[in-house]
Amino acid sequence: MQTEDKDILEKFRIEGTKQLAFNLLIRKYQKRVYWLARKMVIDHDDANDISQEVFVKIWFHLDEFRSESGLFTWIYRIASNECLKVLKKKRLRFFLPIGDVEGELSDKISSEHHFTGDEIQRKLQLAILKLPEKQRLVFNMKYFEDITYEEMSGILGTSVGALKASYHHAVQKVQANLESGEI
């Protein structure tokens, strides 16, 4: 049975149960954070690093969480920002245009020993990878995580209408990428 976010937050605010609460939070959200990162940065090691960074930030800032949004929304906002930060660093570190970063990540999908999907999954991931980063984030959140547009709005700070449009365009691009035969 999973612990409710409210219970985790209450335990976190008590010094004697703070560590227990944090462990419960990690157990509840670790896989979701990892897979969000993995779908964005492709590389297993980068996704692990992002996950660790997210939970370090949560540890240091959970006391500041005001419950104005859901805990899940807050965590995903941190994770999304970390993913975008890592992708930006990759571009800057190697002075690569976005297409070259896409090529590097595509190579990782094809050679990644942690990738366990079949050929259809590999092609889908390659098609998704061709999306702009923020559009890819929206697509992954909606398609794989089934996050509502309202939750996404809280996570990404974007209007529901803009998110719906972004997802619609992403679906069209993914479909076109798959139908092009280039993947």
CATH code of 170's domain: 1.10.1740.10
Question: Angle 119-129/98-111 helices, nearest 10 degrees?
Answer: 170
Question: Cβ–Cβ contacts within 10 Å for residue 160, how many?
Answer: 12
Can you give the pTM of this predicted structure?
0.78
Domain count, the chain: 1
Residue 10 domain boundaries: 5-179
Alpha carbon 106 to its chain centroid, in Å, reads: 17
The tens place of each residue's pLDDT in the chain, 183 residues long, gives 678 999 999 999 999 999 999 999 999 999 999 999 998 988 899 999 999 999 999 999 999 998 888 999 999 999 999 999 998 887 766 554 544 545 555 565 555 555 456 678 878 888 998 899 899 999 999 998 899 999 999 999 999 999 999 999 999 999 999 999 777
Place of tokens 């996704």: 47
- The DSSP code for 181 is S
